[in-house]
């Protein structure tokens, strides 16, 4: 025993620090504090404006207790249906197109050039925020749900393909190898060796993406790409907080139902 | 010192885990609790420090009725009972020293424990205990870096630093290899002798129990079937506890191994 | 095993029997019909003339957007700093609020499963379901335009997200460690600090970095509704059809997102 008990007894004990190098620890700590102060001081809050706004904020909170579903019922209905249509169509297209991209973006089955192209598609789709894509597509295709649908499809491809590709990369090699060993062709290999393993996950992810698409479709209307967002935006512009509250409550309810359904579906397929 | 009076536990599912168990454990006695899985051994131990709330009956330690205590009194009482667990139950992401010192949580205030400012006497005692169980050098290692046997030693040190009168030991060897199991059992029994502690050791390994303890209690379906010295565990008694099985070999083997050991 | 009698009377193996075969086809049919109907609605709402014209418009915009106006960069540093602050401070305040909510929502730590847990879950669902851009819209209406509204929007939106992941992590902890700490006579708060917190620390750090990364993306566009950051410049440039500036801003956003993703991957790698 190299450390004697007598050396330790009577000495103070301290928890060994998380970051062992003292200078790094201090640098990080001081850096964080300095950043925090700089960031907070550049916030520049207009407190009198905030104070004025509190009343309006309270009105909005009150509006939640008495949401107005009726006075703009037709607009809300139309917007919700359009949002639903965009989300469903975009999810279907997203799934169909994401499968080949995912196969291409999985390093263990795709050759390098295809891998790079597919990874590029995934990175581009994920880095561009939906709303920016929507703005560009509205500029190109004009106002309406087509731009929203294309935006959501594009975003779905990146999302699904990335997660699916990761899944394909960590799947069980022995199963896939066993199928290859039977002399199967490439498409048979995918069909028997890969597909059964990733199918449950694909279904779960698709449900999740449908949920996300619906939530996103609520904001696309802000830039003219169709869906409930346009109605919501109008409600805010006119300070009709009770209508806005009604729309938000519907969105929350739909998201909750979708989440519940996707939980059931995922439990059944897995 | 410890009295269990007509202790019963019925789970919400309707399972009767303990049925009218009455026991008396004098100070300094090490006893083994054997029985098939599901016999209620774990429940019995957990009813004593009320990690499981007994349905009826009394647990009396040093004249105080634990079952009647409020939250504060119970915490104070738990300090008197050190517990050692089957899968060590160390806080994996804390260091060995923090794990040992966590045994003092019942004695120090929240902020003191939060900032790890334990009194020097506690720190010294922690070092002494780590030295005793042979892990002094590991003091600043994280618990998940240790092997199974080493972790159980930390678990023992954590129980002992509480300065308990009684050790509750739940399957201390179930996740260890045979050699380490024996070392751990020996260590526990030695420490009990050194410190004059009473201990209740849950154990499914009958021969290991027979090797180390002074008294054996056999539990089946929540009822005490046997209470006596280890020599009393005859084939007939084991059949009563565990059901029909060929016990000859178990009993003989112990004798052989005992000879080999000595 | 499902079998089928073929025309000449021999039995052949089939993957599925007749009935499940029919339900499968039925499900596919219904799915296809729903999709086609959706597509019809979209197509009806579209002015196809614009769509046929799209390649020309796209080429036109593309022609005007290139080359990007690099000199505009000097006006972007400040909004970029704001964007970073919105995301970072927003994440920070979100975590401050998400931690108590998560503890109230987790089945094993909630003080009352009947009363408090549903409230905590409601907070999680409602903050999570609503996009940060909508929160920003709302907060701009309440607090006035600026970085402050954006920061609060990001913070509110992130509460539900972080709290959900965190409470799932709390529910998955190893209960034996908690039991062991309880058995030493530790108080409720000590059990929390020693038995639970160390176990969820890695999850917490992971969630924080993950959400920060997402928040960087989201805060780049908050300016579109007036909530500060680089999105303000984007909106200004779009409104004045200053396409070369738009290109530059998009490049900057793209770069920021890539860098933040890289940082979050590095930090997560270092933690785990």
Residue B103 is part of a domain; what is its CATH number?
3.40.50.300
Does the distance separating the beta carbons of C85 and A42 come in below 8 Å?
Answer: yes
Q: Is the pLDDT of residue A2 over 80?
A: no
- pLDDT of A270: 63
Interval A206-221 mean pLDDT: 86
Q: Is the pLDDT of residue C25 over 70?
A: yes
Best probe of the B interface among C186, C189, C205, C272, by most B CBs < 10 A, is: C186
Tokens of C59: 């080429």
- pLDDT of B97: 92
Interval C25-30 mean pLDDT: 86
pLDDT band at C159; cut points 50, 70, 90: very high
Best probe of the A interface among B95, B130, B136, B142, by most A CBs < 10 A, is: B136
Q: Do residues C20 and C145 share a domain? A: no
Interval A67-78 mean pLDDT: 81
Tokens of B195: 């410190």
Kindly report the CATH number assigned to the domain that includes residue C219: 1.10.3720.10
Q: Is the pLDDT of residue A77 over 70?
A: yes
pLDDT band at B262; cut points 50, 70, 90: very low
Identify which has the larger pLDDT, C241 or C165: C165
Residue B237 belongs to some domain of the structure: yes
In chain B, whose CA is at the least distance from the CA of C191? B105
Interval C17-35 mean pLDDT: 82
Q: Do residues C19 and C94 share a domain? A: no
Helix H or strand E segment including A207: helix A195-220
Q: Is the pLDDT of residue B255 over 60?
A: no
Does the distance separating the beta carbons of C180 and B90 come in below 8 Å?
Answer: yes
Contact C154, C90 (CB under 8 A): yes
- pLDDT of B261: 46
Residues of chain A in contact with residue B140, where contact means CB-CB under 8 angstroms, are 16
- pLDDT of C190: 92
Which residues lie across from B200 on neighbouring strands? B31, B168
- pLDDT of C10: 63
pLDDT band at B200; cut points 50, 70, 90: very high
Does the distance separating the beta carbons of B102 and C184 come in below 8 Å?
Answer: yes
The pLDDT tens digits of the residues spanning A114-172 come to 888 888 888 888 878 888 888 888 888 888 888 888 899 999 998 888 888 888 877 76
Q: Do residues C140 and C256 share a domain? A: yes
Does the distance separating the beta carbons of A15 and B95 come in below 8 Å?
Answer: yes
Q: Is the pLDDT of residue C108 over 70?
A: yes
Q: Is C61 on the interface with A (CB under 8 A)?
A: yes
Residue C153 belongs to some domain of the structure: yes
Q: Is the pLDDT of residue C104 over 50?
A: yes
HSE, CB side, 13 Å, CA atoms: give it for residue B190. Answer: 10
In chain C, whose CA is at the least distance from the CA of B89? C177
Q: Do residues C94 and C31 share a domain? A: no
In chain B, whose CA is at the least distance from the CA of C180? B89
- C205: distance to nearest CA of chain B, Å? 14
pLDDT band at A1; cut points 50, 70, 90: very low
Residue B106: which domain range?
Answer: 26-50+71-217+225-261
Range of lowest pLDDT (B120-124, C7-11, C50-54): C7-11
Residue B39 belongs to some domain of the structure: yes
- pLDDT of B243: 77
What distance in Å separates the CA atoms of residue A98 and residue A164, rounded to the nearest whole number? 8
- CA distances to A195, C117, C169 from C111, in Å: 45, 8, 17
Q: Is the pLDDT of residue B21 over 80?
A: yes
Q: Is the pLDDT of residue A99 over 60?
A: yes
- pLDDT of B161: 93
Residues of chain A in contact with residue C197, where contact means CB-CB under 8 angstroms, are none
- C186: distance to nearest CA of chain A, Å? 20
Interval A178-205 mean pLDDT: 77
Does the distance separating the beta carbons of B139 and A8 come in below 8 Å?
Answer: yes
Does the distance separating the beta carbons of A14 and B120 come in below 8 Å?
Answer: no
Segment of A51-55, B34-38, B61-65 carrying the highest mean pLDDT? B61-65
Neighbours of chain B (3+ CB pairs under 8 A): A, C
pLDDT band at C65; cut points 50, 70, 90: confident
Contact C209, C268 (CB under 8 A): yes
Residues of chain B in contact with residue C185, where contact means CB-CB under 8 angstroms, are 75-79, 105-107, 162
Residue B139 belongs to some domain of the structure: yes
Residue C51 belongs to some domain of the structure: no
- Within A68-185, where are the H helices? 73-105, 112-127, 130-141, 145-169, 173-181
Side-by-side strand order, sheet with B56-61: B16-25, B2-10, B56-61, B64-65
Range of lowest pLDDT (A65-74, A211-220, B98-107, C164-173): A65-74
- pLDDT of C36: 87
Domains and CATH numbers, chain A: 69-269 (1.10.3720.10)
Interval A27-47 mean pLDDT: 86
Q: How many domains does chain C have?
A: 2
* Binding-face residues of C in 87-106 toward B, CB within 8 A: none
pLDDT band at A54; cut points 50, 70, 90: confident
Residue B55 belongs to some domain of the structure: no
Residue B16 belongs to some domain of the structure: no
Cα dihedral A194/A197/A203/A205 (nearest 10): -90
Residues of chain C in contact with residue B158, where contact means CB-CB under 8 angstroms, are 180, 184
Q: Is A1 on the interface with B (CB under 8 A)?
A: yes
Q: Do residues C195 and C266 share a domain? A: yes
Q: Do residues C9 and C80 share a domain? A: no
Neighbours of chain C (3+ CB pairs under 8 A): A, B
Which 3-state string (H, E, C) describes chain C?
CCEEECCCCCEEECCCCHHHHHHHHHHHHHHHHHHHHHHHHHHHCCCHHHHHHHHHHHHHHHHHHCCCCHHHHHHCHHHHHHHHHHHHHHHHHHHHHHHHHHHHHCCCCCCCCCCHHHHHHHHHHHHHHCCHHHHHHHHHHHHCCCHHHHHHHHHHHHHHHHHHHHHHHHHCCCHHHHHHHHHCCCCHHHHHHHHHHHHHHHHHHHHHHHHHHHHHHHHCCHHHHCCCCHHHHHHHHHHCCCHHHHHHHHHHHHHHHHHHHHHHHHHHHHHC
pLDDT band at C196; cut points 50, 70, 90: very high
Residues of chain C in contact with residue A86, where contact means CB-CB under 8 angstroms, are 38, 42
pLDDT band at A211; cut points 50, 70, 90: confident
- pLDDT of B160: 92
Helix H or strand E segment including B222: none
Using a CB–CB cut-off of 8 Å, the residues of B that contact C are 49, 51, 75-79, 81-83, 85-87, 89-94, 98, 102-107, 110, 113-114, 155, 158, 162, 168
- pLDDT of A217: 85
Residues of chain C in contact with residue B105, where contact means CB-CB under 8 angstroms, are 181, 184-187, 190, 194
Residue B124 belongs to some domain of the structure: yes
Q: Is the pLDDT of residue C48 over 80?
A: no
In chain B, whose CA is at the least distance from the CA of A7? B127
- pLDDT of C67: 82
Interval A215-240 mean pLDDT: 83
Residue C176 belongs to some domain of the structure: yes
Q: Exposed, middle or buried, B37 (CB in 10 Å: 0-12/13-18/19+)?
A: exposed
The pLDDT tens digits of the residues spanning B109-119 come to 899 989 888 99
- pLDDT of C16: 67
Residue C13: which domain range?
Answer: 1-42
What distance in Å separates the CA atoms of residue C235 and residue C233, rounded to the nearest whole number? 5
Does the distance separating the beta carbons of C202 and B105 come in below 8 Å?
Answer: no
Q: Is B139 on the interface with A (CB under 8 A)?
A: yes
Does the distance separating the beta carbons of B92 and C183 come in below 8 Å?
Answer: no
Best probe of the B interface among C169, C178, C185, by most B CBs < 10 A, is: C185
Residue B59 belongs to some domain of the structure: no
Q: Is B108 on the interface with A (CB under 8 A)?
A: no
- pLDDT of A247: 87
Interval C243-257 mean pLDDT: 88
Does the distance separating the beta carbons of B116 and A15 come in below 8 Å?
Answer: yes
Residue C246 belongs to some domain of the structure: yes
Q: How many domains does chain B have?
A: 1
- B262: distance to nearest CA of chain A, Å? 27
Helix H or strand E segment including B223: strand B223-228
Residue B66 belongs to some domain of the structure: no
- pTM attached to this predicted model: 0.82
Q: Is the pLDDT of residue B159 over 50?
A: yes
Q: Is the pLDDT of residue A15 over 90?
A: no
């Amino acid at each position: 025993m190299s450390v004697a008990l007598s050396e330790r007894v009577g000495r103070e004990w301290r928890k060994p620090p998380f970051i062992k190098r003292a200078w790094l620890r201090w640098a990080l700590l001081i850096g964080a504090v300095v950043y925090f102060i700089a960031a907070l001081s550049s916030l520049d809050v207009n407190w009198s404006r905030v104070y004025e706004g509190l009343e309006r904020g309270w009105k909005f909170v009150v509006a939640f207790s008495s949401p107005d579903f009726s006075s703009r019922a037709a607009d809300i209905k139309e917007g919700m249906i359009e949002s639903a249509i965009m989300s469903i169509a975009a999810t279907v297209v997203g799934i169909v197109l994401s499968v080949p991209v995912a196969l291409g973006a999985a390093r263990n089955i795709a050759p390098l050039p295809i891998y790079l192209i597919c990874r590029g598609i995934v990175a581009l789709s994920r880095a561009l925020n939906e709303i920016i894509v929507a703005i560009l597509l509205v500029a190109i295709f004009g106002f309406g749900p087509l731009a929203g649908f294309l935006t959501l499809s594009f975003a779905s491809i990146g999302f699904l393909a990335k997660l699916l590709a990761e899944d394909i990369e960590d799947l069980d090699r022995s199963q896939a190898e066993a199928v290859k060993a039977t002399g199967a062709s490439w498409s048979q290999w995918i069909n028997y060796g890969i597909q059964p393993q990733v199918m449950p996950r694909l279904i779960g992810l698709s449900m999740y993406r449908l949920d996300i698409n619906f939530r996103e479709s609520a904001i696309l209307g802000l830039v003219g790409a169709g869906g409930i967002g346009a109605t919501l935006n109008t409600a805010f512009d006119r300070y009709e907080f009770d209508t806005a509250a009604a729309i938000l409550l519907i969105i929350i309810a739909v998201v909750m139902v979708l989440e519940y359904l996707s939980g059931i579906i995922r439990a059944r397929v897995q | 010192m410890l009295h269990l009076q007509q202790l019963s536990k019925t789970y919400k599912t309707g399972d009767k885990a303990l049925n009218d168990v009455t026991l008396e454990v004098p100070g300094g006695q090490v006893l083994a609790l054997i029985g098939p899985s599901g016999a209620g051994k774990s429940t019995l131990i957990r009813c004593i420090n009320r990690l499981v709330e007994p349905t009826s009956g009394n647990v009396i330690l040093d004249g105080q009725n634990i079952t009647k205590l409020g939250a504060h009194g119970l915490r104070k009482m738990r300090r008197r009972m050190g517990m050692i667990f089957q899968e060590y139950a160390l806080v994996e992401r804390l260091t060995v020293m923090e794990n040992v010192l966590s045994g003092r949580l019942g004695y120090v205030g929240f902020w003191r424990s939060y900032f790890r400012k334990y009194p020097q006497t506690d720190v010294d005692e922690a070092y002494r205990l780590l030295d005793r169980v042979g892990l002094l050098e590991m003091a600043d290692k994280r618990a998940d870096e240790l092997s199974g046997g080493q972790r159980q030693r930390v678990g023992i040190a954590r129980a002992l630093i509480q300065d308990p009168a009684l050790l509750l030991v739940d399957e201390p060897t179930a996740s260890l290899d045979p050699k380490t199991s024996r070392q751990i059992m020996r260590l526990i029994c030695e420490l009990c002798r050194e410190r004059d502690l009473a201990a209740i050791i849950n154990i499914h390994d009958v021969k290991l129990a027979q090797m180390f303890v002074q008294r054996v209690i056999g539990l089946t379906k929540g009822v005490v079937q046997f209470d006596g010295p280890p020599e009393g565990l005859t084939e007939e008694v084991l059949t009563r506890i565990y059901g029909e099985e060929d016990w000859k070999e178990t009993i003989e083997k112990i004798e052989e191994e005992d000879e080999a050991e000595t | 095993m499902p079998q089928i009698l073929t025309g000449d009377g021999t039995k052949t193996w089939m993957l599925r029997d007749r009935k499940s075969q029919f339900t499968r086809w039925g499900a596919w049919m219904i799915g296809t019909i729903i999709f086609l109907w959706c597509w019809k609605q979209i197509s009806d709402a579209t002015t196809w003339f614009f769509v046929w014209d799209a390649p020309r418009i796209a080429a036109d915009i593309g022609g005007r957007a290139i080359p990007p106006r690099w000199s505009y960069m000097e006006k972007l540093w400040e909004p970029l700093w704001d964007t970073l602050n919105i995301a970072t401070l927003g994440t920070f305040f979100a975590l401050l609020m998400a931690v108590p909510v998560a503890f109230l929502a987790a089945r094993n730590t909630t003080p009352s499963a009947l009363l408090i847990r549903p409230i905590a879950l409601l907070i999680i669902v409602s903050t999570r379901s609503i996009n940060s851009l909508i929160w920003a819209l709302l907060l701009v209406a309440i607090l006035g335009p600026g970085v402050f509204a954006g920061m609060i929007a990001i913070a509110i939106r992130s509460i539900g997200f972080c709290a959900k992941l965190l409470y799932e992590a709390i529910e998955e902890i190893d209960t034996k460690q908690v039991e062991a700490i309880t058995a030493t006579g530790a108080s409720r708060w000590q059990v929390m600090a020693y038995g639970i917190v160390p176990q969820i620390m890695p999850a917490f750090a992971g969630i924080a970095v993950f959400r920060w990364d997402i928040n960087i993306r989201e805060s780049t566009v908050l300016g579109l509704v007036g909530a500060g950051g680089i999105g303000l410049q984007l909106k200004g440039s779009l409104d004045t059809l200053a396409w070369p500036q738009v290109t530059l801003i998009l490049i900057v956003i793209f770069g920021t997102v890539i860098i933040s993703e890289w940082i979050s991957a590095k930090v997560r790698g270092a933690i785990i």
